[in-house]
């Protein structure tokens, strides 16, 4: 088996003028990047790292916006034998102080040797990297192509079993947990997933997904490049401002495959105007794959209703269950057949934790299948004691494959805790019926907002600092919003303040602080009186119980699923 740099080198040697990426940026002509362009520009960064004494297997953090240089630095680090990891770039929404602290926390755990960024951002990196393991801060503006023997670069002599790169969660706490993936794990995943989606060189993948997220990095970047499948790459920032750009790219380049988190189905259907779609043809699409957050049948139907008049076919709706720890895909549905829907009894689901079929539609829940496991991956459902559960019994999803993570980088404690008898414990809850996987919730406390992992502890910590909030009496959780197709974060905070106007000010301040200091938009915080929040027997705030209480008493509806405390 080869390494990723060896594959790029081979394609460059045999087909240097073949198009690797069509890179789109709003307001600029489409940029065609050939494998020769990719190779030569990646070589610049490989040489720069090599000449700055960055050693094989050392980590290189990449802090760049969505741009061509981000592509070249990622491959360049691997050419140098280093281990690249892409971080989200600082946006206007985030507090620089909070961002700097998050980076410093990352540096303390990952212990990178170098950071690649912009000259204008070097000062921020230097503050975060002070007295850390970082030896070199390289800026893209100062890196030029120099004469060097390509055979000197360790990346072309690498071991397939060595770490290729680190993937990090987009949550702030998650930055400390780098998923280390080997070259062979990545290539085994791509081989299996290629078969699952019947990927061929006649396909065209169109992606707007950020490269610091596993769905964007693997499905929307590495897979097409390494398998020589045409790729149209759109800036995620451009897409958010104008989601019709995705549809235009699909029409222009006859795109066949794209991946969307569930919220994006709603976002596209609600934000793209009929006038924007004039002349656009979506009939080339054979799969729009729902992935990275809980999937809703209503989101699929909204998307279908909106875009079917433009050639979008019902058969193109597809689903996938994926996670960075398995490189990407665990299961896939909607390629050979329509996505399976499972109507189950609400009461049996909530009370007995059994997915009892309910074909009559009375008090039923529609569950969307994530499909059957891909070729190299096994899936089990475990009970609270770690034993296998019968079909249609809800429990924790465990997986085993030949493309699992090597480790949580420099976190042996987390690595050990994540496995049970060779099975990786996902922290997700679900059930299996007729061999297909259904995701029902999460044992972990993660909240997924628009495909981003949000850790409630981070939000609670921020809210606790607001004056007027009773110390330690804050809880954050996610509640699915049908209208936007993703979860929204809800924050409840106890206060002793009785003045209504003052309570409004405190709630507004919580929203302001969270929005400034995290990667989410908190639209509403709710203040409750002292004693409202529920606690566990050990005295901790009971997050799942408070979510259920909120849904029943404030929103007036029964919760569909509860997390395990």
Query: Per the structure block, which two tokens stand in for 510?
Result: 């919580």
Among 439, 396, 444, 402, residue whose Cα is nearest residue 420:
396
Task: Specify if 408 maps to a domain.
Answer: yes
Nearest CA among 313, 312, 311, 332 for reference residue 321: 332
Q: Could you tell me if 438 and 344 lie in one domain?
A: yes
Tell whether 413 and 468 lie within a shared domain: no
Last residue of a domain, one of 392, 415, 442: 442
Residues 347 and 432 in one domain: yes
H helix or E strand, kind and range, residue 476: strand 474-481
Tally the domains of the chain: 2
* Assigned domain for 102 exists: no
Per-residue pLDDT, 541: 80
- The whole-number mean pLDDT for each consecutive block of 10 residues of the chain, a chain of 565 residues, reads 94 97 95 97 93 95 96 97 93 73 89 97 93 96 71 84 86 68 98 98 97 95 98 96 97 98 92 97 98 89 97 98 96 97 87 87 87 97 95 96 96 95 94 96 78 79 89 88 87 95 95 82 90 74 86 72 38
Q: What is the structure's pLDDT at 170? A: 47
Determine which helix (DSSP H) or strand (DSSP E) holds 453, and give its type and residue range.
strand 452-454
Burial class of residue 34 in the structure, from the number of CB atoms within 10 Å of its CB (0-12 exposed, 13-18 middle, 19+ buried): middle
Last residue of a domain, one of 442, 474, 507: 442
Read off the tokens for 293.
């957050």
Is 379 part of any domain?
A: yes
| Structural domain includes residue 308 | no
Indicate whether 429 and 469 sit together in one domain: no
What pLDDT does residue 516 have? 80
The token pair at 362 is 């009375």
Residue 484 has a CB neighbour count (10 Å cut-off) of 16
**Which pLDDT does position 561 carry in this prediction?**
45
The neighbour count for residue 342, using CB atoms within 10 Å, is 19
Do 463 and 513 form a contact (C-beta atoms < 8 A)? yes
Instruction: Indicate the pairing of strand 341-345 with strand 364-368.
Output: antiparallel
Same domain, 436 and 379: yes
Q: Are residues 468 and 434 in the same domain?
A: no
Instruction: Give the model's pLDDT for residue 147.
Output: 58
In a domain, 110, yes or no: no
The CATH number of whichever domain residue 544 belongs to comes to: 3.30.300.30
Cα separation, 55 vs 148, whole angstroms: 17
- Do 472 and 525 lie in a common domain? yes
Task: From 377, 410, 442, give the residue that closes a domain.
Answer: 442
Q: Do residues 401 and 490 share a domain?
A: no
Assess whether 436 and 469 both reside in one domain.
no
Give the C-alpha separation, 446 to 458, whole Å: 11
* Cβ-based neighbour number of residue 281 at 10 Å: 15
CATH number for 365: 2.30.38.10
Whether 470 and 519 map to the same domain: the answer is: yes
- Is residue 469 included in any domain, yes or no? yes
One domain, residues 428 and 473:
no
User: What local confidence, expressed as pLDDT, does residue 475 receive?
Assistant: 94
* Distance separating alpha carbons of residues 67 and 479, to the nearest angstrom: 34
> Which domain does 484 fall in, by range?
455-553
CA 206 vs. chain centroid, Å, equals: 17
Separation CA 490–CA 393 (nearest Å): 29
The pLDDT value recorded for residue 368 is 96
- Specify the pairing of strand 419-420 against strand 423-433: antiparallel
Q: In this structure, is residue 499 part of a structural domain?
A: yes
Asked if residue 73 belongs to a domain, the reply is: no
């Amino acid at each position: 088996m080869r390494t990723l740099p060896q594959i790029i080198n081979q394609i460059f040697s045999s087909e240097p003028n073949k198009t690797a990426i069509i890179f789109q940026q709003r307001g600029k002509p489409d940029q065609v990047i050939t494998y020769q362009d990719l190779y030569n520009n990646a070589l610049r960064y490989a040489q720069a790292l090599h000449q700055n004494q960055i050693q094989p297997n050392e980590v290189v953090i990449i802090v760049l916006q969505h741009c061509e240089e981000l592509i070249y630095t990622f491959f360049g680090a691997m050419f140098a034998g280093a281990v690249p990891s892409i971080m989200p770039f600082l946006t206007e929404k985030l507090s620089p102080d909070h961002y700097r602290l998050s980076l410093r926390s990352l540096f303390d755990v990952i212990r990178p040797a170098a950071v690649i960024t912009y000259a204008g951002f070097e000062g921020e990196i230097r503050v975060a990297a002070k007295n850390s393991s970082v030896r070199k801060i390289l800026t893209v503006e100062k890196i030029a192509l120099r004469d060097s023997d390509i055979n000197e670069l360790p990346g072309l002599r690498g071991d397939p079993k060595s770490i290729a790169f680190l993937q990090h969660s987009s949550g702030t706490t998650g930055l400390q947990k780098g998923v280390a993936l080997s070259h062979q794990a990545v290539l085994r995943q791509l081989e299996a997933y290629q078969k699952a989606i019947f990927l061929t060189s006649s396909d065209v993948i169109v992606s707007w997904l950020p490269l610091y997220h596993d769905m964007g990095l693997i499905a929307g970047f590495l897979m097409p490049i390494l398998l020589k499948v045409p790729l149209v790459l759109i800036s995620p920032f451009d897409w958010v401002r104008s989601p019709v750009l995705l549809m235009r790219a699909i029409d222009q380049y006859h795109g066949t495959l794209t991946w969307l988190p569930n919220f994006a189905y709603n976002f596209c259907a609600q934000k793209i105007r009929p006038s924007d779609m004039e002349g656009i043809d979506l009939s080339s699409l054979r799969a729009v794959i729902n992935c990275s957050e809980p999937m809703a049948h209503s989101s699929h139907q909204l998307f279908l209703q909106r875009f079917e008049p433009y050639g979008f076919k019902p058969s193109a709706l597809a689903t996938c269950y994926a996670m960075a720890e398995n490189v990407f895909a665990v299961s896939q549905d909607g390629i050979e057949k329509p996505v399976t829907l499972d109507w189950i009894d609400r009461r049996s689901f909530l009370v007995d934790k059994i997915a009892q079929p309910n074909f009559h539609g009375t008090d039923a829940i529609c569950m969307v299948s994530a499909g059957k496991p891909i070729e190299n991956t096994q899936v089990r459902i475990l009970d609270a004691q770690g034993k296998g559960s019968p079909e249609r019994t809800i429990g924790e999803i465990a997986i085993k494959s030949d493309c699992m993570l090597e480790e949580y980088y420099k976190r042996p404690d987390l690595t050990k805790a994540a496995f049970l008898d060779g099975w990786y414990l996902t922290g997700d809850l679900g059930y299996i019926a007729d061999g297909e996987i259904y995701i029902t919730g999460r044992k972990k406390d993660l909240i997924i907002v628009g495909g981003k992992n949000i850790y409630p502890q981070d939000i609670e910590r921020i809210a606790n600092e607001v004056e007027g909030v009773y110390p330690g009496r804050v809880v954050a959780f996610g509640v699915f919003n049908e209208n936007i197709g993703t979860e929204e974060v809800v924050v409840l905070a106890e206060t002793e303040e009785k003045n209504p106007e003052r309570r409004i000010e405190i709630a507004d301040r919580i929203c302001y602080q969270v929005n400034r200091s995290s990667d989410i938009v908190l639209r509403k915080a709710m203040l409750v009186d002292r004693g409202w929040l529920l606690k566990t027997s050990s005295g901790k705030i009971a997050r799942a119980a408070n979510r259920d209480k909120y849904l029943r008493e404030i929103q007036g509806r029964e919760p569909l699923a509860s997390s395990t405390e």
